[in-house]
Structure 1
């Protein structure tokens, strides 16, 4: 059985490293790369590969089956750059064959005035882009140490009279108490594997007059380019330990390779928990190479409150603060309930 676990981990690592060699530059469905959920975002995403329960859906689906209880539900809101609002709703349930989750991400981009090469100040028409991601998750603990999981995401984008539809898959594995060391964990995940996306629709038909043609003014279709999914690979190590009966500390380091961006990321996270009630979190995302620097190359902060030991309800609240270069800082709010 240990050989099987090792094969699974090494296979994911090998696939991830192979995928990370290609740098696409521009990708489809960039909304898949935006983290949701305040707890792990507050730690710069470093602990995401070791996430558990409902929050693990978008970070590493293999962690979903580590949920405590029969199920969990979560709502999260993120104020993204350019005043884009991101709403996230997810629910998971534990069954005899593993845990199953459903999730929905919606993006409130707002109203955008339509401009053309002949009317750069606007045509008077207003469009409202409609982006959303629907996810189905399955996770299973293979033993008291190893779990695996996968996501299927349906991506829908539309604005004006054009639209695109795509699918993306995630696969991950977690290995806890590694090397028989309590609290030492390894997480590996490959995200957003799928076919290319391409826009279509009546909005791509334009009227034009081809010089030298006798057809006169007629409609021609603009052929949209297709783009790869924003595939990424993450591998991380974490260590948690208790100090007395009231305090718990956790440290995590994660490497992320991207096929859609020149820079890879090195993430570091910290979490301190007092009596499983109050949590203080911090992280740092090193996303820089020479003079090239990501807007996310920065620190992160957060706090969380778990009410279970206070009032007996499995309810928790989390907040994350994410500074962004050139833009206003992002604020994330999280509400989770167990049942």
Structure 2
């Protein structure tokens, strides 16, 4: 019963944080909301609350300590909209006191020409935005069914002569074989909770003349607005079912409450795996926003190969396909190795 009380207390606490305000608008650090990792993205993110091992870092840190072996490392690449490239690198090690992970997300925007209201064709100056997210994760299994975890993120954004730094954390819990039902699991996670971000730097100083002033042309600082982090709350229920020794099916449903940057969403995911070697995946994401306010299609697809049974190496390859309106479809590639 104490496990049930723990789950209930965390659910109330996390839900209170996430529902402190509910509106869709502009947020700080939107890069925190971009999914990385092909396996769970292929299921529309529905199964992310029940993720395990190194892949759980960005989905639900409580699942990290469920990794098999002493550790895992992972590299992921996503071709995002407008030719933006997202690289993700993470490593996890298991210790006597739990599992500890490190992660790094970098964003490649390419070179962008600088334009002004007086030089709309460009000033000749080129900027290269530099965005990254560095994370530190801790996860611990409290029993053979319950695990908890936290993830701390350092967010850095800079372009031209302006920059911003922010902090955000994720916290989650997983309860496996819930109510003594084999294969039934519950996952809860609150993500991207932290103080507001605000830009600063010499690029905010501009030359201007104040009407009616005798000072003439002088420098004035543009005072930027601060923006809240894109906090969200997710609760998901999953069920794994095996037929014989070779066939395994997974079904997951997740409700995501977005605090600021988007409307609430309902996610559903499916995975079929054969002998834990080959897997096919699909997902469906429904939001009240509908097709009008979102460029993302509802469905996602993907597949994966685990080579351990084939060649004896703990190496996994995963792929996800995410269709997009107006832009080229997103392709995600995953490479994971265990040790």
TM-score, normalised by the number of residues in structure 2: 0.97
In the alignment, the residues of structure 2 paired with residue 258 and residue 303 of structure 1 have an alpha-carbon distance, to the nearest angstrom, of 28
Asked whether the 8 Å contact 1:23–1:259 carries over to 2, the reply is yes
SS across alignment from 1:55: helix
SS of residue paired to 1:6: helix
TM alignment of 1:98-177, pairs within 5 A: 98-177=98-177
Equivalent-residue separation in structure 2 for 1:155 and 1:17 (angstroms): 20
Contact 2:23 2:263 in 1 (8 A): no
Q: Give yes or no for contact 1:287–1:294 (8 Å, CA) kept in 2.
A: no
- Note if contact 1:12-1:172 (Cα within 8 Å) is conserved in structure 2: no
Match of 1:230 in 2: 230
CA contact (8 A) 2:18 2:259 kept: no
What corresponds to 2:79 in structure 1? Answer: 79
SS in 1 for 2:329: strand
**Number of the residue aligned with 1:2:** 3
1:279 maps to 2:270: no
Match in the other structure for 1:14: 15
- Distance in 2 separating the partners of 1:6 and 1:217: 62
Q: Is the 8 A contact 1:288 1:297 kept in 2?
A: no
Q: How far apart are the structure 2 equivalents of 1:135 and 1:97?
A: 19
Q: Give the C-alpha shift of residue 260 in structure 1.
A: 2.1
1:329 matched to which residue of 2?
329
Render the CA deviation track for 1:64-83: whole Å, top value 9, x for unaligned. Answer: 00000000000000000000
1:87-116 CA distance string (max 9 Å, x none): 000000000110000000000011111011
Instruction: Map 1:169-188 to 2 at 5 A.
Output: 169-188=169-188
Q: Taking structure 1 as reference, are residues 201 and 71 closer, same or farther at Cα in structure 2, changes over 3 Å only? A: same
Describe the superposition over 1:4-42 as per-residue Cα deviations: whole angstroms up to 9, x where unpaired. 4234433344325523x3325100000000000000000
In the TM superposition, residue 274 of structure 1 has moved relative to its aligned partner by: 0.2
5+ unaligned residues in a row in structure 2: which ranges?
none
Q: Structure 1 333/308 Cα, relative in aligned 2: closer, same or farther at 3 Å?
A: same
The CA deviation string for residues 224-272 of structure 1, in whole angstroms up to 9 with x for no partner, is 1100001111110000011000000000001111122342111110000
- Hey, what does 2:242 align to over in structure 1? 242
Which sits farther off after the overlay, 209-218 or 247-256?
A: 209-218
Task: Give distance in 2, aligned partners of 1:263 and 1:321.
Answer: 23
Distance 2:136 2:329 in 1: 31
Counterpart residue number, 1:92: 92
Contact 1:40 1:46 in 2 (8 A): yes
Q: Which residue of 1 aligns with 2:202?
A: 202
- Counterpart CA distance in 1 for 2:16 and 2:98 is 25
1:207 & 1:10 partners in 2: Cα distance? 51
CA distance in 2, matches of 1:162, 1:174: 40
Structure 1: which 5+ runs fail to align? none
Is residue 53–residue 66 contact of structure 1 (8 Å, CA) maintained in 2?
A: yes
Structure 2 CA distance for aligned equivalents of residues 102 and 336 of structure 1 = 14
Question: Quick one: distance in 2 between partners of 1:299 and 1:334?
Answer: 19
Tell me how far apart the structure 2 counterparts of residues 283 and 16 of structure 1 sit (CA, whole Å).
27
Is 2:220 the partner of 1:220? yes
- In the alignment, is the contact (CA less than 8 A) between 1:236 and 1:253 conserved in 2? yes
1:262–1:333 distance in 2 versus 1, CA, 3 Å: closer
Secondary structure of 2:19 counterpart: helix
Contact 2:150 2:171 in 1 (8 A): yes
CA separation in 1, counterparts of 2:271 and 2:316?
15
- Provide, for residues 131-184 of structure 1, a one-character-per-residue CA deviation record: whole Å limited to 9, x for no partner: 000000000011111100001000000000000000001010001111110000
Any idea what SS the aligned residue of 1:261 has?
coil
What displacement does 1:3 show? Answer: 4.8
Asked whether the 8 Å contact 2:43–2:268 carries over to 1, the reply is yes
